[in-house]
Amino acid sequence: MSDRTPLMAGNWKMNLNHLEAIAHVQKLAFALTGKDHEAVEVAVLPPFTDLRSVQTLVEGDKLKIKYGAQDLSAHDSGAYTGEVSGAMLAKLKCAYVTVGHSERRQYHAETDEVCNAKVKAAYRHGLTPILCVGEGLEVRKAGNQVAHTLAQVDGGLKDIPAEQAESVVIAYEPVWAIGTGEVATPEDAQEVCGAIRGRLAELYGQEVADKIRIQYGGSVKAGNVAAIMAQPDVDGALVGGAALDADEFVRIVRFRDQ
Ligand SMILES: O=C(CO)COP(=O)(O)O
């Protein structure tokens, strides 16, 4: 059993307005106990428009729930219409920011180079990046999932020094498992997460690699999370749909009770 604290993060995607976000975080906060928070780090990743409201609630009620954003600009400020900078997210006391989610890679043509620039921007502003990697179905069918995912890790972490990388979170999210209900088997998850740990050791040495948390994401539910979390190189989950159901997300946080 590693001494890495599991991170269960809910990626709400484009769901819950700022009023719904307040109600949802209140429900989570009411359900989660001090014992839960000692065992697992819990984070929510709402849409940008919810962040100020979530910050106000978390700070006002001194909640242990962390929060962050689903994306950030590679730029710090300027003529980038519609973008949100890491500086602005830091001002809202965001802890995390996802980078390179497959839906952004797919719909916004985010390359490994763009993801690398965003990882650097996150660190410039004191945000912990959750770097999302993972293969599509064709790559999986061809048996190239490890090589594909490691190339994304290499690209996303290019020129990131060890003192920053040791805090990064890597989220392995096989695209064919996202939103499909077809969760990866624990063995599939461990195969790639273990390979990611090995690459991190090659890049930064084993001591740093052993500090880095690697999440699994893709149709995680309370019923399947425990077997995935039992894998030695899985340190949490990046949860989509199930995170929108407070009771289900709390059951995911309490995976050890299953
Ligand atoms: O994309 C995901 C989290 O970032 C996973 O989404 P689902 O849990 O809905 O499959």
CA 125 to ligand 1 center in whole angstroms: 26
* 230 residue type, one letter: A
Q: What is the mean pLDDT of residues 125-153?
A: 98
Confidence category of residue 1, pLDDT binned at 50, 70, 90: low
Q: What is the mean pLDDT of residues 114-118?
A: 98
Please state, for a pLDDT cut of 70, what percent of the chain lies above it.
100
Residue from 96, 220, 221, 251 whose mutation best tests the ligand 1 pocket (most atoms within 8 A of CB)? 220
241 touches 20 (CB < 8 A)? no
165 touches 227 (CB < 8 A)? no
Token pair in block for residue 32 = 């989660």
CA 258 to ligand 1 center in whole angstroms: 21
Express each pLDDT in 43-62 by its tens digit: 999 999 999 999 999 999 99
SS3 readout for 215-244: EEECCCCHHHHHHHHCCCCCCEEEECHHHH
44 DSSP β-pair partners: 10, 67
Give 133 or 3, the one with higher predicted confidence: 133
Residue 102 labelled as part of a binding site: no
Closest CA to 23 of 62, 54, 61: 54
pLDDT of residue 215: 98
pLDDT of residue 258: 85
Task: Write out the E strands in the chain.
Answer: 7-11, 41-45, 66-69, 96-99, 128-133, 169-172, 213-217, 236-239
Q: What is the mean pLDDT of residues 10-19?
A: 98
Express each pLDDT in 169-221 by its tens digit: 999 999 999 999 989 999 999 999 999 999 999 999 999 999 999 999 999 99
- Mean pLDDT (the chain) is 97
* Residue 2 in this model has a pLDDT that exceeds 80: no
Q: What is the mean pLDDT of residues 141-155?
A: 98
Closest CA to 149 of 188, 182, 181: 188
7-257 has which fold?
Answer: TIM Barrel (3.20.20)
* 223 residue type, one letter: G
Q: What is the mean pLDDT of residues 102-131?
A: 98
Residue 219 labelled as part of a binding site: yes
pLDDT of residue 134: 98
> Which residues carry out catalysis?
101, 173
* 120 CB-side CA count, 13 A: 16
Counting beta carbons within 10 angstroms of the beta carbon of residue 35, is it exposed (0 to 12), middle (13 to 18) or buried (19 or more)? exposed
Nearest CA owner, ligand 1 atom 8: 240
Q: Ligand 1 — pocket residues by CB below 6 A?
A: 11, 101, 173, 178-179, 217-220, 238-242
CA 75 to ligand 1 center in whole angstroms: 26
Between the alpha carbon of residue 154 and those of residues 76, 217, 248, the distances in Å are 24, 19, 34
pLDDT of residue 10: 98
